[in-house]
């Protein structure tokens, strides 16, 4: 063990002087995380929400039209949209054309009377061509309101027919409750997902960190092949050093490079980008497990490849495939479908899931299932690579 440690420390000093290890391990993932978060962070951050600016022009002024305004005000109170009332269409059109308003609702005179008389009534939605999504949402709100009105009209008509009572203000007063309010009611439910979600900044930072981790550890175990070609490996084997110490030294080097890279990235992204990684102990366990799995997988590549170039190409391909499938750039598949399940054949997906489980102030123990899954990858690939690398040195 002492010999393996000395080999690792010697190689670590050399690698720390190598700018390529610094670039791949720290600068590249940190830069890409910053760029991706800058470009895509706001679009995919579920905590930011959508800024929707709506207006309403109520030219009817009836109780029913005011009820629609009340509904919009209640939704506004929930922080879903911002509402502005206008006295005329011209003022609202100016706001839409100027880009200050996404859409506005127009209730023309006679709207309330048409609803009461059970005749066609229309809510017009005027939207900006630059805000198609917001206009569609406004149309959905108006459609939902209209659906409620139709349901209430049907209920009143049915009641009047069954009781053989003419529809009149007295008939409305005799009903239990307010039959119109049912049409204008709404409910916003807070549904908490079973799985916590990372915010966009942390997702980008963690994704880039674990993605480049598989390139960083390659400077260690793949170095065996480089030394084999240069002839220095033969000199090491001629010395009173066991093959296990040589392989162990390269594995320790890979582990140290991975730990240093991940530690710097965790701290840097938290300080510079505001990433929230979660409970430190849980993050530390995920990082250690992730580094071990990367060492095992890249070590397996080193044991199988015939040349340093072939090993480098193969490790790059594997790192990219596992990273893409593991969802380090964007989430793969929908919850519960085949593709989303397929992602969990990669340690990347378990790493990201473990961090998500630590979100929102969860205790460090929340990451333990993911840590266990990643350590399974590390144990299987590490054992195989250890055996195959020792066998390779015996040739």
**Residue 249: per-residue pLDDT:** 87
Burial class of residue 155 in the structure, from the number of CB atoms within 10 Å of its CB (0-12 exposed, 13-18 middle, 19+ buried): middle
**Residue 165: per-residue pLDDT:** 62
**Residue 347: per-residue pLDDT:** 94
Of all residues in the chain, what percent carry a pLDDT higher than 90? Answer: 31
For 354-394, the pLDDT digits (tens) are 999 998 788 999 999 999 999 999 999 999 999 998 888 77
pTM value surpassing 0.75: no
Neighbours of 35 (CB within 10 A): 12
| Confidence check: pLDDT of 166 > 70 | no
For 133-164, the pLDDT digits (tens) are 788 888 888 888 888 777 766 666 666 566 66
> Strand pairing partners for 58?
107
**Residue 225: per-residue pLDDT:** 81
**Residue 191: per-residue pLDDT:** 47
Q: Give yes or no for a contact between 245 and 4, defined as CB atoms under 8 angstroms apart.
A: yes
What distance in Å separates the CA atoms of residue 285 and residue 318, rounded to the nearest whole number?
A: 24
**Residue 138: per-residue pLDDT:** 87
Structural element, H or E, at residue 94: helix 89-97
The pLDDT confidence band at residue 180, using thresholds 50, 70 and 90, is very low
Q: Give yes or no for a contact between 289 and 355, defined as CB atoms under 8 angstroms apart.
A: no
**Residue 183: per-residue pLDDT:** 42
Q: Which of 62-71, 93-102, 162-171, 288-297 has the lowest mean pLDDT?
A: 162-171
For 91-123, the pLDDT digits (tens) are 999 998 888 888 999 999 988 888 777 778 889
What distance in Å separates the CA atoms of residue 367 and residue 369, rounded to the nearest whole number?
A: 6
**Residue 196: per-residue pLDDT:** 59
What are the boundaries of each domain within the chain? 2-46+197-393, 53-184
Map residue 212 onto helix, strand or coil.
Answer: helix
Task: Supply the mean pLDDT for the chain.
Answer: 81
For 3-23, the pLDDT digits (tens) are 788 878 877 777 777 778 888
Map residue 86 onto helix, strand or coil.
Answer: strand
Rounded mean pLDDT of 330-347?
74
Look up residue 96 and give its two tokens.
Answer: 């839409």
CA atoms lying within 13 Å on the CB side of residue 307: 3
CA atoms lying within 13 Å on the CB side of residue 5: 2
Q: What is the DSSP string of 6-62?
A: HHHHHHHHHHHH-HHHHIIIIIHHHHHHHHHHHHHHHHH-TTT----EEEEEESS--
Nearest of 6, 3, 44, 382 to residue 200 by alpha carbon: 44
**Residue 284: per-residue pLDDT:** 95
Map residue 84 onto helix, strand or coil.
Answer: strand
| Confidence check: pLDDT of 46 > 50 | no
What distance in Å separates the CA atoms of residue 326 and residue 347, rounded to the nearest whole number?
A: 7
| Confidence check: pLDDT of 181 > 50 | no
SS3 content of the chain, % helix, strand, coil (to 5): 70, 5, 25
CATH topology of domain 53-184: abc type-2 transporter like fold (3.40.1710)
The pLDDT confidence band at residue 51, using thresholds 50, 70 and 90, is low
Rounded mean pLDDT of 246-250?
87
| Confidence check: pLDDT of 86 > 60 | yes
């Amino acid at each position: 063990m002492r010999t393996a440690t000395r080999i690792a420390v010697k190689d670590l000093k050399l690698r720390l002087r190598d700018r390529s290890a610094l670039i791949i391990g720290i600068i590249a993932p940190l830069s890409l995380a910053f760029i991706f978060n800058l470009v895509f962070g706001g679009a995919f951050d579920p905590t930011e929400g959508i800024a929707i600016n709506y207006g309403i022009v109520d030219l009817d002024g009836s109780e029913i039209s005011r009820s629609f305004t009340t509904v919009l005000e209640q939704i506004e109170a929930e922080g879903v949209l911002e509402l502005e009332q206008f006295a005329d269409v011209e003022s609202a059109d100016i706001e839409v054309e100027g880009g200050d308003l996404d859409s506005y609702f127009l209730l023309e005179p006679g709207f309330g009377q048409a609803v009461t008389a059970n005749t066609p009534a229309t809510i017009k939605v005027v939207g900006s061509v630059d805000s198609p999504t917001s206009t569609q949402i406004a149309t959905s709100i108006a459609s939902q309101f209209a659906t409620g009105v139709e349901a209430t009209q049907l209920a009143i008509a049915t009641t009047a027919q069954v009781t053989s009572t003419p529809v009149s203000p007295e008939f409305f007063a005799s009903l239990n409750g307010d039959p119109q309010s049912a049409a204008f009611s709404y409910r916003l439910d807070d549904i908490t997902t079973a799985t916590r979600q990372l915010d966009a900044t942390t997702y980008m930072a963690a994704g880039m960190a674990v993605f480049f981790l598989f390139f960083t550890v390659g400077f260690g175990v793949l170095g065996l092949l480089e030394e084999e070609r240069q002839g220095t490996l033969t000199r090491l084997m001629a010395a009173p050093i066991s093959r296990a110490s040589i392989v162990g030294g390269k594995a320790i080097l890979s582990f140290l490079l991975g730990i240093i890279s991940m530690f710097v990235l965790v701290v840097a992204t938290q300080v510079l980008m505001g990433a929230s990684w979660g409970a430190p102990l849980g993050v530390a366990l995920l990082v250690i497990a992730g580094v071990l799995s990367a060492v095992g997988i890249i070590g397996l590549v080193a044991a199988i490849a015939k040349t340093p170039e072939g090993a480098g190409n193969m490790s790059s391909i594997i790192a990219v495939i596992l990273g893409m499938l593991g969802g380090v750039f964007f989430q793969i598949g929908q919850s519960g479908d085949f593709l989303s399940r397929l992602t969990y054949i990669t340690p990347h997906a378990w790493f990201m899931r473990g961090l998500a489980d630590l979100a929102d102030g969860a205790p460090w123990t929340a990451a333990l299932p993911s840590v266990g899954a990643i350590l399974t990858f590390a144990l299987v690939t590490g054992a195989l690579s250890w055996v195959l690398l020792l066998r390779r040195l015996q040739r």
